[in-house]
Structure formats: C-alpha cells, structure tokens
Amino acid sequence: MHESDYVQSIKSATAPTSIIATLRELARELGLAHLTYIPTGSRSVETALEQAVSTYPDCWIERYHLKNYRHIDPITKRSIESSLPCEWSLAMAKEPDVLMFLEDARQHGVGLRGLAFPVLGIGGAAGIFSVTSNHSDREWEALPLALVRHITAAAYAVQNRVHEMRTTELPMPSLSKGEAACLSFLMKGETPKSAAARLGVSESRVRAALQKACKKLQSKTSTQAVVSAMTAGLLD
C-alpha cells in the first residue's frame, strides 16, 4: 500500500479500531513491531494512556493497567513531559523495577527497542508517537529515510484524526448502580466472585453486569471498562 493510501485510510477512519487496523498493516509492511499514538493534552498519564491508539497486544495493555506500570514506565512519563524525541535505550534507568518492566514488555511482544517523538497537529493538539522494533542495533540505527517519512506521515494523520474524534461531541455513557458497583469493586482489586459475595448476589449476576458495562463503555475487557469508567468520572 502506498503512503498516501495509509494516510487516507487513517483520515477516513470512523473509530479508533479502524486506525489501529491501518497501523497494524503499516507496521507489518515496514517491518516494525508496533506503532502507538498517545494524546498528551490532558497532562495526565492515566487519561493519556486511556485515549491511546496502539497496536500493542490486548494482553499487554491489560497487564500494563493491572500492574500499574504507569508508575514505573519511564518512557511514557518522559515523553509526555518533554517536547524532545525519546530513544528508549537512553531513557531506561537501571533500577530493578524498571528492568523488570522492560523484560515483561519484551516477553509480551512489545519490541526490543523503540523511539517516541512529539507530534503537534491541528488546533494545537499534542501527542507522542511511539515506534517499536525487533531490529538489531545496527539495523535500527540505519533505518532508511523513506521508512521515517512513512512513519511521520502516519503519525500526523493519526494525530489529526484522533483530535477530530475527541472534539466531536458524544453522549456520555451512563452506568446502572449495579454496573458501577461491580466496576468499583474490580477497581479495588476484587474478583467477580469476591465482588458478588460483598454485594450479596450471584457471581453470574456480577459477570452479566460487567458485560453490560463493557458494551456501554466500548471496552473489550472488564479491566479496560474500569479504566474507561474512571476516566469518565463514573466511579466513586
């Protein structure tokens, strides 16, 4: 697919999932591991991560939230707070928890190395675009300019389309009292079974409520639904 085709596909996307599908195809064609865009206008790491558009595996995204890696990840924090490109190998500290985080990310297929750079789009919207790869050090340093051009074009197209989607007024999802209660218990570390015991209802009823909440919040998993509900201010 030509560069202009990727850009046009991103521009015409009607949902984040469509953008992700295009980014997956682009990463595959360019021989990269993953591509990720994170809007940074909120200056909140939690909100920025929730609004991210990424080709990372769902299992890694879910694990990232469950393990609270946002408190450890030096790349996301540094990229959000800085206006300069961030080479992963230069930003990684040697603390045990950071090294553990990096190894966990690699085991979940994130990639061996990466680069994050700032993107400034329409309306002053800001974000960071992250590229990961499994290239060797020599291959990574010798990436052709044509590949960089493809990545840059995609980054700005994603930035502008995500900004347009975010500024389009959408109805705020509403949760029932039971759905909110179930998500709140999960937020506090409870399982559906223990949440059911605390609420005095069956586990199947809790799971049904979680499924409804996921559908309303357009989330694939209960963990993602918890994050979405927290970001939207739907949980106490």
- Residue 8: how many other CB atoms lie within 10 Å: 14
pLDDT tens track of the chain, all 236 residues? 666 788 889 999 988 889 999 999 999 999 999 999 988 765 556 666 677 899 999 889 888 888 888 888 887 777 766 667 888 877 776 788 888 998 999 999 999 888 888 887 665 667 889 999 999 888 888 877 678 888 888 898 998 888 788 766 456 678 999 999 999 999 888 999 999 999 999 999 999 999 999 888 877 788 878 877 776 678 86
The count of residues in the chain is 236
pLDDT averaged over every residue in the chain: 83
Is there a contact between 78 and 58 (Cβ–Cβ < 8 Å)? no
Q: What is the CATH number of domain 177-231?
A: 1.10.10.10
CATH 3.30.450.80 in the chain is located at 3-167
Q: What radius of gyration, in Å, describes the C-alpha atoms of the chain? A: 19
CATH 1.10.10.10 in the chain is located at 177-231
pLDDT in tens, 132-147: 999 988 888 887 767 8
Give residue 119's pLDDT.
83
Give residue 65's pLDDT.
81
User: Quick one: tokens of 184?
Assistant: 């709140």
| Spatial CA neighbour of 155 closest among 23, 18, 17, 21 | 23
Give residue 166's pLDDT.
73
Q: What is the CATH number of domain 3-167?
A: 3.30.450.80
